[in-house]
Structure 1
Amino acid sequence: MPTQLPPAHPFDDDKLREECGVFGVVGVADAANFVALGLHALQHRGQEAGGIVTHDAKTGFNQARRMGLVRDNFTSADTMQILPGSIGIGHVRYSTAGVKGQTAIRDVQPFFGEFSMGGAAIAHNGNITNAMQLRRELIERGSIFQSSSDSECIIHLMARSMGRNIPDRMEEALRKVEGAFSIVAMTRTKLLGCRDPLGVRPLVLGKIGDGWALASETCAFDIIGADFVREIEPGEMVVITAERGVESHFPFRPNRARFCIFEHVYFSRPDSILGGRSVYETRENIGRELAKEAPVDADLVCPVPDSGTPAAIGYALQSGIPYAMGIIRNQYMGRTFIEPTEQIRNMGVRLKLNVNRALIKGKRVILVDDSVVRGTTSQKIKEMILDAGAKEVHFRIASPPTAWPCFYGVDTPQREKLLAATMSEDEMRDHLGVDSLKFITLDGLYRAVGEAGGRDSSAPAYCDACFSGEYPVAPSDMIEQGFQAKTAAE
């Protein structure tokens, strides 16, 4: 039996799961220590497993892949001693391909391969939408897969390439890949980074002393004392060495960028920078826009912690209604706290969240959350607020209704399990049993992230498929399995 872990949130399956986090560094002593710190800062992007690969002139390539959290696996001297070298990459994972919530050690990245010109390791954030098709073709040609991960296709495509060197082989492989990818890779001396032509997933470049770093988010640079230099451009590949610095290539046909708008709403840490904008400030702007679009008379604005906090602050500032911590999060609710038996499951979110009864009693409360997926958590929170004596409960949601699944690296439920796919806003309000329910409009969300004119339906600036159903890259594998994409009439 493969090693398995329970879902990252065993008492709450009502959130879109962060995809994965990637990090790499070159030109520093003890690279593995920097990679471990970077992955720790990116832990919110994946909590199931993590891995690190380094290279040292004496010992060659070294790797460690572990189930669980970075702090539990990559802090001991024994583990870090087996990862020497001045170049390294790492990955934290939440499974988006294969069996959800049941990561096997063989699926943990980075993946490593030996080629005729030397070894290479690769870590991937995103999702390959034609992975099933590629996998079939590769297996028919003799490839032997070791994992269920879509990312392994890239290694096999590189092995079959006739490119002169590893960067050339990676370029050729990625030209055959559809979907979303932000990649960090390494050879013995080179750190590589690449984003798909639409730039759906994030990747940033940093400078640390004489060395360089790549990461999914800028918050990973802060923890190691690196300076944020710039974002890797959509469709750009960088090849970095300690001696020559950063060389930039653009191997793909130019395309209009479609960065994932949900990074601004939820996935990225609020202390990161996206597109030159503070994520925290953007989320506060979302709250302000939501207050303009959906005002309501109430006594308190309360966030659903922690993801709803910046938007709740913005809503309170715009509306003039006092902000209050009406719900307190138990920060020490660990994933292995207790075996989730049926009796414990019935306690629901009470193991993670508790209502500040003295504050809530007799009040008309606005609850601000980042999204509604299945609606199960929203119902439980509403019940807790009413049990504490609230007079009214109003939900304000800092994203439009999530009505379509994501195929670009986010673990989204099947469409029929998404509340907004089967119900109108009023029907959702009645289903949740709240006094009012309002989502920010798609135009309002675009204004909050800096698009003053709102969403240009003819040329959207972001990937918003989970809200609009308009997929910038056709989800080939899912369509093959019978998924019905949105039609023009819809």
Structure 2
Amino acid sequence: MYDFGKDKLKEECGIIAMSVPNDKNLAKTAYFGLNALQHRGQMSSGIAVLNDGNISCYKDFGLVTEVFNDNILSLLKGNLCLGHVSQDQNATVFSNNAQPFVVNYSKGSLAIAFNGGIRNRNAIKAYLEKNGSVFSSTSDSEIIAHSIIQANNENIVDSIRYLLKTFVGGYALAVLTQDSIIAARDQYGIRPLCIGKVDGGYVIASESCAIDLVGGDFIRDVMPGEIVILKDGEIKSYETQTRIKKASCVFEYIYFARPDSTIDDVNVYEARAKSGKILAKEHPADADIVIGVPDSGTPSGIGYAEGSKIPYCGALIKNKYTGRTFVEPSKDKREMSLKIKLNPIKRLIDGKRVVLVDDSIVRGTTMKSLISNFRNAGAKEVHLRITCPPVYNSCDFGVIAPSGSALIANVMPIEKMAESLGADSLGFLSLKGLIESLKGRDGFCTGCLNGKYPVFETTNVLLSKFSGGKYE
């Protein structure tokens, strides 16, 4: 069996948090922000609000438009709001895995939304269980909740400071308390998080496109290791002094993020278009047309066409209304699922030599079927061009990815890969070219491409300090 969603690396979650003192209908606004982040997770959706000191939350399996309607949103009254979309497949099995995760304890209530991965989660969870915590889900948000509770600080900010120092990995999180929103980004800035201004308040989101959609103005990215507090229409920032070196996830620019987002001062569309131009220089092709695979491959395809002087042709149509694609039980149904999602226009392809540009190859199953469809549509030649280096490694920082043995780059050399996929030629963008497309500077995690992760082994975390409950 094969799940088409697993033939790409997948981001696990998207977060939006808002504080607008004079607006008790923030859930309706956050709904639109979550729609802008839907590409980051299609398994479950949720919104929590604070109203008169009480946290209310509604969450369920499905897309934002499937989970929420006007009646539900009208019941979620509050001027502090926290929303989340998730790609966690466990959320369809364990309903408690859907976020935001709400917990009640002796000092009140918290709602937590999390995006990322914690490398030392098992050690932290074991410590918490040893000291009395009982878990009802497999969500990292619940680990964060129990960590805050056991830290037992008077100020939650101090607890979160300690978390940033203790939790090893790549993540962004937002916590709805009984009077504020507290948001933070890991010390490397692997997972994205940004700040915007809305009329009368502030918004924090995984991507700037969500700020745009709720009518806000982008201010800046949350810095690695920074804690941001939204309270009473004001914003405060705390440096945790745990920042080591910025290492934004390179796949945000390659595939995860929407092209209308800007992350850490790099516009996603511009980066993809530039990667296509560089790819045209590194791997030229003698062809008649260039076609980008929608959606992330489209700007790269346009860039390749500009760089190669070969006309761009939008001859691959993506059906926007297919929703989520789950495991299909037969080869025929798998192929039909792909045709429903991506259908080539035969009149534009028949007899043509095609350069097909996509963002990545993970397992290769979908690409093999897509090239076969191009052949059936009459393509004379298909030259495959990929705007990132081969993917050799999995990820522990909030990315859903196959194991290393399931990655096609680990199974065969590039020359054999082209033959296996049915392409006349195959070219991958070099790592140097990829970094050049990202303004040519350092500050990116490229572990899935070259094995160089900013955090590779669990650092010397003294969990015994946790019992002290104070930030040191």
Q: TM-score range by the shorter chain?
A: over 0.9
Report the counterpart of residue 360 of structure 2 in structure 1: 371
State the match for 1:56 in structure 2.
51
Alpha-carbon distance in structure 2 between the residues aligned to 1:364 and 1:177: 51
Where does residue 32 of structure 1 map in the other structure? 27
Which range is displaced more, 144-153 or 342-351? 342-351
Aligned to 1:463: 445
The answer to whether the aligner puts 1:402 opposite 2:391 as a matched pair is: yes
Distance 1:126 1:103, change over 3 A: farther
- Is the aligned partner of 1:253 residue 2:253? no
**Are 2:292 and 1:303 aligned?**
yes
> Does residue 267 of the first structure (1) align with residue 249 of the second (2)?
no
Aligned to 1:86: 79
Give how far 1:249 is off.
0.6
Q: Match of 2:61, as an amino acid? A: M
- 2:75 pairs with 1:72: no
Which amino acid is 1:15 matched to?
A: K
Q: Which residue of 2 aligns with 1:45?
A: 40
What's the counterpart of residue 421 of structure 2?
A: 432
Which among 115, 135, 140 is matched to residue 145 of structure 1? 135
Change (3 A) 1:347 1:472: same
Amino acid paired to 1:423: M
Residue 454 of structure 2 corresponds to 472
1:10-409 aligned at under 5 Å gives the runs 10-27=3-20, 28-57=23-52, 60-77=54-71, 79-95=72-88, 102-243=92-233, 245-335=234-324, 340-342=328-330, 343-409=332-398
Q: Secondary structure at the match of 1:347?
A: helix
**SS of residue paired to 1:151:** helix
Q: What's 2:462 paired with? A: none
Residue by residue over 1:261-295, the C-alpha shift from the partner in whole angstroms, topping out at 9 and shown as x without a partner, is 11111111001112223211111001001011111
For the aligned residue pairs, the C-alpha RMSD in angstroms reads: 2.0
Structure 2's unaligned 5+ residue stretches are 460-472
**Structure 1 unaligned runs (5+)?**
1-6, 453-459, 478-490
1:10 CA displacement: 4.8
Contact 2:51 2:78 in 1 (8 A): yes
Check whether the contact 1:407–1:475 (CA below 8 A) recurs between aligned residues.
Answer: no
How many angstroms does 1:444 deviate by?
Answer: 0.2
For residues 270 and 436 of structure 1, the distance between their equivalents in structure 2, rounded to whole angstroms, comes to: 27
Whichever residue aligns with residue 218 of structure 2, its letter is F
Structure 2 Cα separation of the partners of residues 215 and 340 of structure 1? 34
Residue in structure 1 matched with residue 464 of structure 2 by the alignment: none
Instruction: Quote the offset at 1:175 in angstroms.
Output: 2.2
Cα separation, 2, equivalents of 1:433 and 1:208? 50
State which drifts further: 407-416 or 128-137.
128-137
Q: CA deviation at 1:256?
A: 1.0
Q: Structure 1 residues 351, 10: CA separation in 2 closer, same or farther (over 3 Å shift)?
A: farther
Q: Please state how far the C-alpha of 1:330 moved relative to its aligned partner.
A: 1.8
CA contact (8 A) 2:164 2:187 kept: no
The CA distance in 2 between the partners of 1:305 and 1:340, in whole Å, is 22
Counterpart-to-counterpart distance in 1, 2:367 and 2:333: 18
Native 8 Å contact 2:61 2:91 kept in 1: no
Deviates more, 1:119-128 or 1:363-372: 119-128
Greater relative contact order (Cα 8 A, min sep 6): structure 1 or 2?
A: 2
- Residues 418-457 of structure 1 mapped to structure 2, 5 A cutoff: 418-451=407-440
The answer to whether the 8 Å contact 1:210/1:242 transfers is no
Mean Cα displacement is larger for which, 408-417 or 116-125? 116-125
Closer, same or farther: CA 239–48 of 1 in aligned 2, 3 Å: same
Q: Normalising by the residue count of structure 2, what TM-score does the alignment of the two structures yield?
A: 0.93
Return the offset for 1:178. 0.8
Hey, what's the Cα distance between the residues in 2 that align with 1:431 and 1:295? 21
TM-fit CA distance, 1:341: 4.6
**How many angstroms apart in 2 are the aligned matches of 1:158 and 1:443?**
42
More helix by share: 2
- In structure 1, how many angstroms separate the alpha carbons of the residues matched to 2:256 and 2:4? 19
* Paired residue type of 1:93: S
Contact 1:128 1:151 in 2 (8 A): no
Secondary structure of 1:90's aligned partner = strand
CA shift for structure 1 position 118: 2.5
Distance 1:416 1:11, change over 3 A: closer
Quote the offset at 1:349 in angstroms. 1.0
Inter-partner Cα distance in structure 2 for 1:121 and 1:384: 47
The answer to whether the 8 A contact 2:33-2:210 is kept is yes
- What letter is aligned with 2:257? S
What is residue 411 of structure 1 aligned with on the other side? Answer: 400
String of CA shifts for 1:234-262, please: whole Å, max 9, x gaps: 1100112125x111111242311001111
Query: Given residue 314 of structure 1, which amino acid in structure 2 is its aligned partner?
Result: G
CA distance in 2: counterparts of 1:12 and 1:155, whole angstroms: 30
Aligned length: 456
Q: 2:470 maps to what in 1?
A: none
Q: Is the 1:117–1:165 Cα contact (8 Å) retained in structure 2?
A: no
Contact conserved, 1:21 with 1:216, CA < 8 A, in 2? Answer: yes
Post-superposition CA distance 1:41-98 (Å, at most 9, x none): 100000000111111117x110111110101122322x11331110010110011xxx
Compute the displacement of 1:164 (Å): 1.4
Q: Secondary structure at the match of 1:152?
A: helix
Q: What is the letter of the counterpart of residue 344 of structure 1?
A: K
Separation (CA, whole Å) in 1 of partners of 2:309 and 2:298: 16
Specify the SS of the correspondent of 1:13. helix
The ranges of structure 1 where at least 4 consecutive aligned residues each deviate by more than 6 angstroms after the TM superposition are none
For the 8 Å contact 2:25–2:74, the answer to whether it is kept is no
> 1:16 deviation in Å?
1.0
C-alpha contact (below 8 Å) 2:6/2:401 kept by paired residues: no
1: CA distance between counterparts of 2:8 and 2:327? 21
Deviation at 1:422, TM superposition (A): 2.5
Whether contact under 8 Å (2:4, 2:327) holds in the other structure is no
